Structure formats: structure tokens, C-alpha cells
Copies of this chain bind each other. A is one copy, B any other.
Amino acid sequence: MGLSVLSHPQDKERLLAYFETQILQVLNWLASFSPDEEGGITRLLYTEGWLETQQALAVKMASHGLETGFDEVGNLFGKLQGEDRQAPSIITGSHIDTVVQGGKYDGAYGIAAGLLAVNYLQQHFGKPKRSIEVVSLCEEEGSRFPMAYWGSGSIVGKRNFEQIVHLQDTQEVFFADAMSRCGFGEGKGRKSRRTDIGVFIEVHIEQGAVLETEGTAIGIVETIAGQRRLKFEVTGESNHAGTTPMHMRKDALEGVSVMIQALRQEAVRLGAPLVATVGRLQVQPNVPNVVPGKVTFTVDARHDDEHALDSFCKWVMRTFTALAEKRQLAILGTEWFREEPVPMNDQLKQQMEDVCNRMSIKSKRMISGAGHDAQMFEHICPTAMLFVPSRRGISHSPEEYTKPGDLAVGVLVLTELLYRLGYEGEEL
């Protein structure tokens, strides 16, 4: 190990300045598709704006000299062919879809970073030993249909066409119809499932405020946290707010407010990396002068340790049940979503750390509390994930922002890593 994209240490600043200009151009160009009225980006799977974006990206990839093609679900690949055509590909990229009123960095940054890195490598170092592909994954957010990781999941065999047969969006459009209108579907394009992937690297904004708060440039993801989502329905008695004395009430919202407190206190007591959130809560009948008869709410809990997560969720079920019984409230709790923690590849983490150290870039290992496409790829190949700071941790919002300088550092580290894997032929 000795060669680097930086011939001289002073190249670093020049290259960062170059990437800074370039990444802003690409991100702003991508953001020009599917703008919404709130000043954000709303690019939902298989919508017109989504299709335009993918098609424009395909044109750009081709203009960069990449072999470009869609698979049958609409994942877009741009391949820089390597000398060894048999060797499994190195893939980098992220998802092109956004949430409703999302920002211009989540997902798009990983694609743009991949494009820039591969373009730079090709221009300066020519053909790599192993093929490098940039992927614009069709979907990750689950924001239009109740189905997340459709893009990466289809590639690794965790998603298939049977799973979407009954799915509809809120306008009652069927998943398969929306897909078909964009020209995709079973047999329409290259099979999504791939077995020729050697490495996957995803660059992404942190979507948290840890890097910014600590003044760290690069987060090396240790593990993508496991998630559990529970939902609860607490039923008391809906009564007149004026005529029901306090001691005769079975106020579902009062009971739930105690549960929210208990959840918070236990999560704080157990400490990081555990996080627990009541994000959605609905009151019935939700009228100012009626004692709430029913409250439904969700609990989202995450941890990098499966055992700790499991035991926390059992505590939640037990504690909420006891709190409800004490108040003569009925409670129904169910788990509706579960993802096991996914550790990233040790050697790749080591390599990223080494890249950062050699380039004097401050990095830290961290847990990803958010789910990412990388957790899908980890099922089939060594996978790595790299974070750049998010201003105030804000994401899934038009306010999402990362400083151009920080974006450039991410591109530089990715470029160096791809160089080592694709040109130097470092083995994993």
C-alpha cells in the first residue's frame, strides 16, 4: 500500500476544492427534478419526477463513458468496466427517492459522490483492475408504498414481485401499475437479483448531529442499529369533559402520557446507543370537551445489540401493560416491524479509517441509528458505510443541509477507497 489518488499532500486541498464545486453542481441539478411547493424535494417511487430523474441520470452516466442500464425494478447502474471481467464488481451509490418534502442530500448525495469519484478515477487513472459501478437505487424510503428497500432488496433477493401484489399508495394506485407505467416490471429489463457483487460502499449524510457537534468530518459506520416498532392501542372511556368528575374518568391520554414518561426515563437510564421514540400518536375522539376514550401510538426503539433491544422491548410491553391496568385502561400492544442490527465489514472499516488517518481527516466509528441500503447489501457482500455531518442533524426536511466542504471530504475518502479497491486491487 503506497499509491494514492494524492500524489502530493498538497493535492488534497486542490482536489477538495474541485469536488466541492462538482458535488454542488450535481446535487443542485438532481434537486431541480421533483421540487415541491414547500421548497423541498418530493421524489416518490415511480412518479413522473422520479422517472425523469433516473432517465437524466442515465444520460449523464453514459456521457461519462459508463455502461448504463436499468434493471427490471428501475435500479440504474453505470459501470466502469475493469480489466478482469470475471471479478465481482465494486458498487457504490445510494437511493434516488425521497420522503415527502425531503431534502436534496438524503440518498442523492451517495449517488452524486459515486458519480464524481468514478469519473475522477477514470479520467486520471483510466481502466480499473476490477469493474466499479455507480448505482442509483430506485427506492429506499417506503414513502409512497408500504415497502422500503425495494431497490437494494431486489438486488440482494430480500424483495420480490410477490411481495408487492396487493400494495397500493394512498391514492389506491397499485404498486405494479405504477411500476409498469414507468416501463418497469417483471421481465422488463435486466433481472434485479445479482450474484456478481464483490463490495458495496454507501456514502450518506449522517441525519444526526453527532459529527457536527463533535467537529468530526467522517463517520465510519460500525453497525446499522436494529429496530423494533411497536404499536399500542389504549382504551378508556370517552366522556363529557364537564360532567365527569376526575375520579370517575378512564382517560386514555392521561394513561399514555405516563407511558411516554416511563419510556423516556428508562431509555435515558439505559443510555446510548439505545434510543426510543413515541413519534405517532392519535387521540379519539380528539375534541376539546371530551375525555379521550382511545389513544393509539407507536414506539420506535433502536440499539446495535439485538439482545439489549429485545430486553428493552419486553420491558416496554410489561411496563405499559401494568400502567394501563392500574388505571383500568385496556391495552393492546403489537410489534409490527423488526430489523436485526447489521455490522459493517471489519476490513472495510479498517481501510476507511486508514484512508482518513493518512489524509489527516478526523473520523470516528459510530452506530447508524437510521436504516440504509447498506444493510441489505451486507447480506451478499462486504459492505461499508461512510457518513458526513448533517447540520443540526436535520433530515427528511427541506432544511436538510451539509456544508459543501464536508460533502467534498466524503467524496475524497470514497475516491481513495475506490482507488485502493479497484486500482490497487486490495483484497478483502
Q: Which residues of A contact B (CB under 8 A)?
A: 206-210, 213, 225, 227, 229, 237-248, 251, 253-254, 256-258, 260-261, 264, 267-268, 271-283, 286-292, 298, 300, 302, 368-371, 392-397
Q: Which of B253, B291, B369 is the one whose CB lies under 8 Å from A242?
A: B369
Query: Would B298 and A240 count as touching, CB distance under 8 A?
Result: no
Alpha-carbon gap, A76 to B260, bound state (A): 50
Query: Would B227 and A242 count as touching, CB distance under 8 A?
Result: yes
Return chain B residues, CB-CB under 8 Å to A257: 256-258, 260-261
Can you list 24 pairs linking A and B with CB atoms under 8 Å apart?
Answer: A209-B248, A210-B243, A229-B289, A238-B394, A239-B393, A241-B277, A242-B369, A244-B369, A245-B273, A246-B264, A246-B268, A246-B275, A246-B276, A254-B260, A254-B264, A257-B260, A277-B288, A277-B290, A279-B283, A279-B289, A280-B283, A280-B287, A289-B300, A290-B396
Alpha-carbon gap, A210 to B246, bound state (A): 12
Query: Would B253 and A281 count as touching, CB distance under 8 A?
Result: yes
Q: A254-B260, A257-B257, A291-B277 are in contact. Are A243 and B283 (CB under 8 A)?
A: no
Query: Would B393 and A240 count as touching, CB distance under 8 A?
Result: yes
Query: Would B283 and A281 count as touching, CB distance under 8 A?
Result: yes
Alpha-carbon gap, A393 to B245, bound state (A): 10
Q: A258-B261, A260-B253, A260-B257 are in contact. Are A289 and B272 (CB under 8 A)?
A: no
Complex copy number for this chain? 2
Query: Would A280 and B275 count as touching, CB distance under 8 A?
Result: no
Q: How far is the CB of A351 from chain B (nearest CB, A)?
A: 24
Query: Would A240 and B288 count as touching, CB distance under 8 A?
Result: no
Alpha-carbon gap, A286 to B300, bound state (A): 12
Q: Which of B227, B275, B370 is the one whose CB lies under 8 Å from A245?
A: B275
Q: How far is the CB of A285 from chain B (nearest CB, A)?
A: 8
Alpha-carbon gap, A278 to B225, bound state (A): 36
Most interface-central of A254, A288, A292 (chain B CB within 10 A): A288
Nearest neighbor of A278 in chain B, beta-carbon distance: B253
Alpha-carbon gap, A279 to B295, bound state (A): 11
- Given A279-B283, A290-B396: 14 more A-B contacts, CB < 8 Å: A206-B243, A207-B242, A208-B244, A210-B248, A225-B242, A240-B393, A241-B277, A241-B279, A242-B369, A246-B271, A254-B261, A254-B264, A277-B291, A288-B298
